[in-house]
Amino acid sequence: MAKPLIKEAGIAAIILENPFYGLRKPKDQVRSNLHNVSDIFVMGGCLMLESLVLFHWCERNGYGPLGITGMSMGGH
């Protein structure tokens, strides 16, 4: 996803990995099934905080203009 953006449009990308998914998934978690309902709130809070930190880092280092987008992880 990020390679075509930089190659074709000169747009750099930072791709966040969602807490509780991929490499950030707890070892005892099966697929995307969270252990606790509260994990949804933890996940959302982490994503917002990490996004803000990265956005501010980009601004402090002179990168811009900045944009943000996302995609659905699906649902049941």
DSSP line for 12-72:
----PPPTTSGGGS-TT--TT--S-THHHHHHHHHHHHHHHHHHHHHHHTT--S-------
Domain residue limits at 30: 2-60
Distance of alpha carbon 34 from alpha carbon 5, whole angstroms: 32
pTM above 0.85, yes or no: no
Asked whether residue 65 is assigned to any structural domain, the reply reads no
pLDDT attached to residue 33: 87
pLDDT category at 75 given cuts 50, 70, 90 is: low
pLDDT attached to residue 47: 92
pLDDT in tens, 21-63: 889 888 998 888 889 999 999 999 999 999 999 999 999 999 9
Asked whether residue 66 carries a pLDDT value surpassing 70, the answer given is yes
Asked whether residue 12 is assigned to any structural domain, the reply reads yes
Asked whether residue 71 is assigned to any structural domain, the reply reads no
Residue 39's CB is within 10 A of a number of other CB atoms, namely: 15
Asked whether residue 73 is assigned to any structural domain, the reply reads no
